[in-house]
Amino acid sequence: MGGGIAGLSSALELSKTGYIDVEILEKSSFLGGHAIQFACKATDRCVSCGACMVEEKLKQAVENPNIHIYSRSRIQKITKSEKFSIDIIIKPAYIDSKMCTGCGVCLDTCPFEGSVIRGFSKNNMPLYTICEDSCLYFKDKSCAKCQKLCPEGAINLDSLESCHTSEVDAIIAATGFQPYNPVSKPYGYGLFDNVVTNLELERTLRKNSTAARPSDGKAPRDIAFIQCVGSRDVGLNHLWCSKVCCASALRMANLIKMRQPDTEITFFYIDVQTFGKNFQAFYDEIQKNIRQIRAIPGDIYPTRDGRLQLTYFDGAKSQSVDETFDLVVLSIGLIPGQDNPDLAGLFNLEILETGFLAPVENGTSGICDGIFTAGTVEGPMSIPETIAHATDVSWKAIKYLNLG
Ligand SMILES: Cc1cc2nc3c(=O)[nH]c(=O)nc-3n(C[C@H](O)[C@H](O)[C@H](O)COP(=O)(O)OP(=O)(O)OC[C@H]3O[C@@H](n4cnc5c(N)ncnc54)[C@H](O)[C@@H]3O)c2cc1C
């Protein structure tokens, strides 16, 4: 369950045995989870951000004949006797993955933004899908332009939901995390165009290679990164460190500095978490390029000239300081997935005080044998950690199935 990097890694590891059939049930339209949205942050050399690992595993999974993928699927019912019997409902993508060549005519000719959605990776199959909530065909049938113009005839807007029943011996819950929504923080997210999250900046860098102010598309003169938005926060009872945000933000800052050298970058932080292979060396190296201030700004106001004013307390000078920036990036934390309570109820899993799921040892979760948890469904992890964890969990599953 879950087609993020944890689910993909588990599926690939299990399929390597050559005699295990794997099904990936993914609730969204595209595989890859959050990490497929990230930009490669290599400058003149690789900085080990992990983004390429996700691309690689996604490609391997979609090409693997022993891995069957059900995107846009939701579980309707699960029963267990000797095996699990899982009834799933699959929403149509409206675009046939075997016929679609990824030409993009559907997206280019669609008159209503948000109706045709493109996957983040060229390895997503199909590369496009139709969003029923925005598409005019699903409102009043007034437009079927994409269906008429698709050169391959790959689009059928009248496709129906289908059902599928899986009979499986074991289930790996790899349903991931959700990013913290910072609307309730005093940073004007959702109010001011030029306050964005680190996830939004990742997507922009992936698509356009450079950073821009959403308000006018211009290159920002200066950017402030604010760390720990939604993590290490007593008020929210989110006491955990999200572990990946410092490295992710500093790698993005470094990339922007290389591609847009005139942009000044300031990094506001509580503590810099230097987890991960080679990160300390990278951190030492970027000191000269990125200004770092150990303080978290209080709130943000727009100025008359379209900039954003931040106020923070300068501990060294014992005074509060006002500074203005063109773009503010909020490094939002990793919080428990929204389906965790349902999963816990369904499989009798333990929910930790944080809201993440407790690891399931040896496939036994009280009443249900054959359940495992993998990746960030258990708490914040980086991409390499998630891959290592999911691989290890797959071996536990293989052992449980008496195949190891
Ligand atoms: C802004 C940001 C930047 C980051 N940058 C980096 C970085 O540079 N380097 C790094 O190593 N790590 C980074 N990370 C961490 C990285 O995102 C995670 O390590 C990785 O995404 C974890 O993968 P996962 O499969 O556990 O979870 P997810 O990526 O959340 O994937 C879970 C999948 O399960 C699906 N799902 C959820 N519920 C269900 C359900 N009920 N049924 C079926 N499917 C379901 C979801 O749709 C999703 O596809 C970053 C995180 C954030 C938020």
Cis peptide before 126 (omega within 30 of 0): yes
Section 135-141 average pLDDT: 96
* The pLDDT of residue 256: 97
Q: How high does pLDDT run on average in the chain? A: 94
Section 4-13 average pLDDT: 98
Section 151-176 average pLDDT: 96
pLDDT-derived band at 127 (thresholds 50, 70, 90) equals very high
Measured in Å, residue 403 CA sits from the centre of ligand 1 at 29
Q: Tens digits of per-residue pLDDT, 25-57?
A: 999 999 999 999 999 999 998 999 999 999 999
Which tokens is 211 given? 């950073």
* The pLDDT of residue 273: 84
> Residue 56 carries which side chain, given as an amino acid letter?
E
* The pLDDT of residue 403: 66
Domains of the chain from N-terminus onward? 5-91+161-176+337-400 (3.50.50.60), 180-333 (3.50.50.60)
Q: Tens digits of per-residue pLDDT, 331-365?
A: 999 999 999 999 999 898 999 999 999 998 777 77
Question: How far apart are alpha carbons 400 and 364 in whole angstroms?
Answer: 9
Is the pLDDT confidence value at 377 over 80? yes
pLDDT-derived band at 404 (thresholds 50, 70, 90) equals low
Measured in Å, residue 171 CA sits from the centre of ligand 1 at 18
Pocket test for ligand 1, best of 166, 244, 274 (most atoms within 8 A of CB): 244
User: What number of other Cβ atoms are within 10 A of residue 198's Cβ?
Assistant: 22
Which of 127-131, 194-198, 208-212, 316-320 is predicted least confidently? 316-320
Section 138-144 average pLDDT: 96
Helix, strand, or coil here: 184? helix
Question: How far apart are alpha carbons 112 and 295 in whole angstroms?
Answer: 43
Q: Cβ < 6 Å from ligand 1: which residues?
A: 1-7, 25-28, 33-35, 38, 49-50, 174-177, 179, 198-199, 202, 244, 248, 334, 337, 339, 375-376, 381-384, 386
